[in-house]
A and B are shown apart, each in its own frame.
Chain A
Amino acid sequence: MKRRDFLRTAAHAGGLSAAASIGLLGSLQAQAATAPGGYKALVCVFLYGGNDGLNTVVPRDAARYAQYAGVRKKLAVAQADLIPLGADYGLHPSLAALAPLWQAGVLAPVFNVGPLAVPLSKADLKTKALPDNLFSHSDQQTLWECAGRSVLARTGWGGRLAAQAGIGPVIALGSAGRFGSSDAGAALALPGPGEDFSPGGWFGGPNAARRAALETMARASYTNRLMQAYGGVQKSALDTSAALGPVLKLTPGATSTDPIDLAFGKLTGALNTPLAKQLYQVAKLIRHGSTNGSGPQVFVVAQGGYDTHADQLTRHPKLLAELGPALAAFYDATLRIGQAQAVTSFTMSDFGRTFAPNSSSGTDHAWGNHQLVIGGAVSGGKTYGQYPELVLGGKDDVGVESWERHGRWIPTIAVEQYAATLARWFGLSPSQIAATLPGLGNFPQADLGFMLA
């Protein structure tokens, strides 16, 4: 069996039934109306490779759908297959699991977000400052993770936000990138469900001295900076293993009635995926943190594979079929543990993809992109920002000359604005937000309004 066949089989096996999930979300929505005091969590879902936002949220009205289909051609999602988000937009059918969240008002798409140095129109392209190294994966990941225009940034906005809030380090379950790095160090990366998070072995008898030496070496001071940093990583592992090891180790049992296990369909079927497992760990850590007084927390999870230069019609739907159920199950889990109001998850990705397909049935690297924000405190059921004008070489396309008109959208919302809206909800003061996002002052609107007070 080929790997891709395996993934397809796993996806088709089905887990959480859509009907069950809709009913549950409806009945529990009221319960999520008020957040319990004190605890909050932000969960960044990074889609590595550059998610094709244009096939993620598609205009449904006749005029714009015709523009879309006219350019996207065989890569276009069929109009009848779109999952309606009201009259104007529709989700890719692989994201059907998110439909109930839209109906419950806890899902908000935010349009055409991306790294910017200053507000930018097409006329400004030759005269105003641009972000570094546009269209490059690694560099644009850095700009999204660090929120700024310089690829030399060393700290992520998640790490700076945590530092400003005076809370613990960002916790990473997938690839951490730079999002969680701060001046104090990198994100705390934790393992997946079922893994032992402790030094293994028998440490009785004379071996107790061996265990003690591990602690001594991790806490020692080293003049070499790399050794000092690695000791710090070991120390963070040893320090957190006692508290978090048992939480991380839990896996869903066949007969479990644990609400998180139920929300995640016991990690079977469409939820037997790396992303669902990461979010399952986050849900358990949120329950642990919110009941053990850990204070507010910031998490980052990741899904890879979005660089669909070729064969996009096969690859992109499979990726979204992992993303949709995982995000829906995670929201469901926060409902079931009474934390929906306190938890906001949001997507980020390297960049959007070209509106015009290439000759390999794929799309290339672009710029502004659509993001999804989910949570009980999201003012959802509506969209934010302006959907780009779907015209090659049009006002939103960075391409001027005929050969460069591929539909790489100039963002109309900066990463800093997106981040600041979340940071304000998280509880940061205006001065803390400014310290977290130094470029924010270049943009007129510091709060995009997609979060409730």
Chain B
Amino acid sequence: MQRPSHTGRGHWLALLCALALAACGGGGGDGSTSPSPDPGTSAPPVTTPPPATGETPMTPAEAARLLDQGGWGASEAALAAATKIGPKQWLSVQFDTAASRFGNYSAEIHTAGLKDFCVERNIGSNCWRDYYSAEPLSREFYQQAVSGADQLRQRTAWALSQIWVVSGHEVEGTYGLRDYQQMLRDNAFGNLRDLLGKMALHPVMGAYLNMVNNEKDAPNENFARELLQLFTIGPCELTAGGDLAGGACRATYDNAGVREVAFALTGWTYPAGGTSAWGKWDWTNPSFLRGEMLAFAEQHDQTERKLPGGVTIPASRTPRQASDAVLDALFNHPNFAPFIGKQMIQRLVTSNPAPEYVERVSAAIASGSAHGFGSGRRGDMKAVLAAILLDPEARDASRAEAAAYGRLREPTQYTINLLRAANGSTDGAPFYWWIGAMLGQMVYTAPSVFNYYPADYPLPGSPGLAPEFGLANAATAMTRYNLSDGLFYWNEGTGIKADASIPNATGTRTNIAAFESSADDANALFERIDLLLTAGRSSASTRAAIVEAINAWDPVKNKDSYRRERVRTAFYLLLASPDYQVQR
């Protein structure tokens, strides 16, 4: 990143377009219209009081940690609300909060029956961006993460989207990507088995991993393999604590198992609704990316199949019976609970959970209840989230002093927590082609089904795992520094300007004037911001370095500017600190 001149943003966008794998949207001004006349909405807060739990209300530091683990971080307003209640009450409120909604994007690319939609509709240079790419969703993702009340639901859906990955890198159709991601949000507090079904039979997943239109004679193995390896049980036998059983990789399935599942999942095509200008020549439906894939019995394999975990499905069956049998077998496999449970812990709380912690979460998945939450049915997500977030390893700050505790903030989190802490607002525009690409995390556009980083990425030079370190390197470290520079120092400190080609553009701004009331005392200012960003847990050396830099702004020599400069110095440096980079 660099400090922009008046045209700096355009320069950057142009450069990014040149660097990126795919086309950029162009500069606008060509009269194109948004394909989303119904813009998305951030969830409003719940107004009914939470049920009494007999809990002591959270301290500010306790609340800041929970907001970090179960949401997109603390703002002073969110902290004020959370310190009135206990952690169980906070969860109750979150479970009752409705989902933020993405806009209702047009499906015309697949329903208008045109051979080249953008050309024939004469939509202009933003057509691919607005109708095919994940970019509009990414914008809404950032807007709603900053302002939506459904913080836990959004974080949970984002975590699930990184386990059951689909990507705008391969699948083209904004409306379809929207449908898949909204499905994850709407079901984030539902049941894992229901989620598995909706995920596996969604046409976007079908298109992404080639399950759609898979024929019984020679099915491709793509979805079957990743369903086993990445989405449900993993390749190696696990203990209930999520460790390798026997300390080595004992295979949970072999290639024959992959083939059997691939055969069992044949005979699905796109849902009805699409039209094609090329006409219809076989059993398949034209592309349509909303709803659920459609079964076509004649193209479904009719051979007995042995599934991983020991279940056999009979030769005579419908596609639905077979897919249910496959998903049931995987959902009930002993690996499922620790495999999914450990990854959810890693996404929300810590990269190296103790096996006992994983075991407690696995038990909650199996029983469907934890801490008074959940329906008692295996796979209940409220039970899973309560088990993760109310566990002593999550709540007890003294446990977070362990050397391997915590997780590196991923780029979305780094950015959104920053904006929330600094009373920011955003239209989400800079965080896809530009900053998202530079930080290695373009929302809903993972480079492959292996997500932005592998779940088992080793912490370099130390024991233990650190998945998000797959994106931590010299280049992205520099970009993280420079994002703060952009948001607190560019354009007279007002942040990043609006891009006229984006509908309802507002730019991305921080508003830290309120913190100037603490600026006369460097320690008080540091503590006020440190509470929001690290739950007040920065190390002594970090504090000393930042307080010294704050005090470099002299109330006498810089009498007109020192308060403002002190506040942004404190924000810039705390955001740069390893103490903030690692969520603990």
Of the listed residues A132, A138, A192, A222, the one surrounded by the most CB atoms of chain B closer than 10 A to its CB is A138
Shortest CB-to-CB span from A155 to chain B, Å, is 8
Flag B206-238 by CB within 8 Å of A: 1 or 0 each.
000110011101111110010001000001100
Complex: chain B residue closest to A189, CB-CB = B473
Shortest CB-to-CB span from B120 to chain A, Å, is 13
Distance of A447 Cα from B100 Cα, bound (Å): 60
Residues in A neighbouring B210, C-beta threshold 8 A: 309-310, 360, 362
Residues in B neighbouring A226, C-beta threshold 8 A: 351, 404, 406-408, 459, 466, 469, 582
Shortest CB-to-CB span from B59 to chain A, Å, is 21
A187 within 8 A of B: yes
Q: Which A residues, 357 to 416, have Cβ-Cβ distances below 8 Å to chain B? A: 357-360, 362, 364-365, 403-404
* Cβ-neighbour of B213 out of A132, A207, A230, A360 (below 8 A): A360
Complex: chain B residue closest to A408, CB-CB = B255
* Cβ-neighbour of A241 out of B236, B478, B485 (below 8 A): B478
* Cβ-neighbour of A135 out of B255, B463, B546 (below 8 A): B255
Shortest CB-to-CB span from B302 to chain A, Å, is 15
Distance of A228 Cα from B542 Cα, bound (Å): 12
B554 within 8 A of A: yes
With A191-B475, A230-B578, A364-B222 already in contact, the answer to whether A210 and B572 are too (CB < 8 A) is yes
Flag A339-372 by CB within 8 Å of B: 1 or 0 each.
0000000000000000011111010110000000
A195 within 8 A of B: yes
A304 within 8 A of B: yes
Shortest CB-to-CB span from B469 to chain A, Å, is 7
B251 within 8 A of A: yes
Distance of A223 Cα from B461 Cα, bound (Å): 14
* Cβ-neighbour of B584 out of A190, A224, A234, A364 (below 8 A): A224
Shortest CB-to-CB span from A1 to chain B, Å, is 6
Distance of A405 Cα from B12 Cα, bound (Å): 51
Asked if A222 contacts B539 (CB within 8 A), the reply is yes
A154 within 8 A of B: yes
Residues in A neighbouring B235, C-beta threshold 8 A: 133, 136, 139
Distance of A230 Cα from B236 Cα, bound (Å): 30
Asked if B482 contacts A227 (CB within 8 A), the reply is no
Q: Which A residues, 10 to 44, have Cβ-Cβ distances below 8 Å to chain B? A: none
Residues in A neighbouring B438, C-beta threshold 8 A: 191, 195
* Cβ-neighbour of A3 out of B132, B255, B473 (below 8 A): B132
B52 within 8 A of A: no
Distance of A281 Cα from B475 Cα, bound (Å): 13
Flag B433-462 by CB within 8 Å of A: 1 or 0 each.
000001000000001111000101011111
- Majority secondary structure, A binding face: loop
Complex: chain A residue closest to B405, CB-CB = A224
Flag B462-496 by CB within 8 Å of A: 1 or 0 each.
11101001001111111001100110010000000
With A136-B235, A220-B541, A358-B219 already in contact, the answer to whether A213 and B573 are too (CB < 8 A) is yes
Distance of A176 Cα from B447 Cα, bound (Å): 13
Of the listed residues B133, B255, B408, B473, the one surrounded by the most CB atoms of chain A closer than 10 A to its CB is B473
Give the interface size class of chain B.
35 or more
Asked if B539 contacts A134 (CB within 8 A), the reply is no
Asked if A358 contacts B569 (CB within 8 A), the reply is no
Residues in B neighbouring A257, C-beta threshold 8 A: none
Asked if B258 contacts A135 (CB within 8 A), the reply is yes
Shortest CB-to-CB span from B95 to chain A, Å, is 30
A301 within 8 A of B: no
B127 within 8 A of A: yes
Distance of A403 Cα from B403 Cα, bound (Å): 50
Shortest CB-to-CB span from A86 to chain B, Å, is 34
Distance of A192 Cα from B438 Cα, bound (Å): 10
Asked if A200 contacts B462 (CB within 8 A), the reply is no
Asked if A217 contacts B576 (CB within 8 A), the reply is yes
Asked if A217 contacts B549 (CB within 8 A), the reply is no
Residues in A neighbouring B255, C-beta threshold 8 A: 134-135, 404
Asked if A234 contacts B578 (CB within 8 A), the reply is yes
A206 within 8 A of B: yes
Asked if B461 contacts A183 (CB within 8 A), the reply is yes
B399 within 8 A of A: no
Asked if A225 contacts B259 (CB within 8 A), the reply is no
Asked if A199 contacts B485 (CB within 8 A), the reply is yes
B371 within 8 A of A: no
Shortest CB-to-CB span from B549 to chain A, Å, is 4
Distance of A185 Cα from B459 Cα, bound (Å): 8
Complex: chain B residue closest to A215, CB-CB = B545
Shortest CB-to-CB span from B419 to chain A, Å, is 19
Distance of A220 Cα from B582 Cα, bound (Å): 15
Shortest CB-to-CB span from A98 to chain B, Å, is 22
With A176-B473, A403-B259 already in contact, the answer to whether A199 and B407 are too (CB < 8 A) is no
* Cβ-neighbour of B406 out of A190, A212, A214, A224 (below 8 A): A224
Residues in A neighbouring B138, C-beta threshold 8 A: none
A452 within 8 A of B: no
B552 within 8 A of A: yes
With A172-B473, A189-B475, A228-B462 already in contact, the answer to whether A6 and B403 are too (CB < 8 A) is no
In addition to A151-B249, A201-B482, A209-B549, 14 A-B residue pairs with Cβ atoms within 8 Å of each other are A3-B132, A136-B229, A137-B449, A138-B450, A152-B244, A152-B249, A176-B473, A196-B478, A233-B472, A233-B473, A233-B474, A359-B214, A360-B213, A362-B220
Can you list 12 A-B pairs with a CB-CB distance of less than 8 A?
A154-B458, A186-B472, A186-B473, A191-B478, A193-B19, A210-B573, A214-B481, A222-B539, A230-B469, A272-B18, A274-B19, A358-B220
The 3 closest A-B pairs by CB, nearest first: A189-B473, A209-B552, A6-B23
